[in-house]
Amino acid sequence: MAVLVGKKAPSFSAPAVINGGEIVEGFSIEQYIGKKYVVFFFYPADFTFVCPTELLGFQERLEEFNERNVAIVGCSVDSKYSHWKWLQTELKDGGIKSVKYPIVSDLSKTISENYDVLAGTYDYSEDGDITFKGDPMAYLGLFLIDKKGVVRHQVVNDMPLGRSVAETLRIVDALQFFEENGEVCPADWHKGDKAMKETQESVAEYLSNQ
């Protein structure tokens, strides 16, 4: 598994569905560089069980991300038409109709490959034919990208293991606090907690006050 933290987020241009129903071509997260942070997350497939809980969870707290100047962008290997249909389907029927943030179509699977979250690999048979070993979908990968386009946090879960929207917000708060104050955030830090400078004395002082 590649570690992308500290590196430029892989660029791409791909179809996406935005605003809950508008299909656009050539969507790219590079449009946010210099303007917004980005939480770019992958999920295995449309019309599945764990995935809608996460997509709806991000939508429910979308305003909190907006307040922090963070764009939420989802991505799976489904087609733009599958995304559109899922976004038009009512929640009671297994849909995600309320979701308004962009959902990217990675039908070629190249975006998942570049972020190293594809659950399998391409190979060649003895006859020279291309085959795929594994599950041709993305793991539950999530990447926090700063305004310079650099990955500052990543987490990758296996498909049955849902992620925490609250933890994503906490990490956003920690990054922004560090950028604004130059102090690092210790274990289980939450917005409003004390942080510390990067010195051994600061660590000892922090621990003595716990």
| Digit-coded pLDDT (tens) for 129-171 | 777 787 889 999 999 999 999 999 999 999 999 999 999 999 9
- In the prediction, which pLDDT does 138 show? 95
- In the prediction, which pLDDT does 18 show? 97
Amino acid at 114: N
Parts of the chain with a pLDDT under 70 = 1, 198-210
- What residue ranges define each of the domains in the chain, with the CATH number in brackets? 14-163 (3.40.30.10), 164-210 (no CATH)
Rounded alpha-carbon distances, angstroms, from residue 49 to 45, 52, 53, 159: 9, 6, 8, 10
- In the prediction, which pLDDT does 209 show? 56
- In the prediction, which pLDDT does 1 show? 62
Structure tokens at 127: 């006859």
Residue 185 appears among annotated catalytic residues: no
- In the prediction, which pLDDT does 120 show? 81
Crossing angle (nearest 10°) for helices 50-60 and 165-181: 40
Least Cα distance to 43 among 131, 154, 118, 122 occurs for 118
Within 8 A by CB and 6+ apart from 79, the residues are 105, 107
Within 8 A by CB and 6+ apart from 186, the residues are 195, 196, 206
- In the prediction, which pLDDT does 204 show? 44
User: Which of 4, 39, 51, 77 is an active site residue?
Assistant: 51
For the segment 186-203, what is each residue's pLDDT rounded down to a tens digit? 887 888 778 777 544 444
Backbone angles phi, psi at 196, to 5 degrees: -155, 155
Amino acid at 115: Y
| Centroid of chain to Cα 159 | 14
- In the prediction, which pLDDT does 198 show? 56
- pTM of this structure: 0.88
Report how far residue 146's alpha carbon sits from residue 144's, in angstroms, rounded to the nearest whole number.
Answer: 7
**Buried (b) or exposed (e) across 56-75, using 16+ Cβ within 10 A?**
bbbbeebeebeebebbbbbb
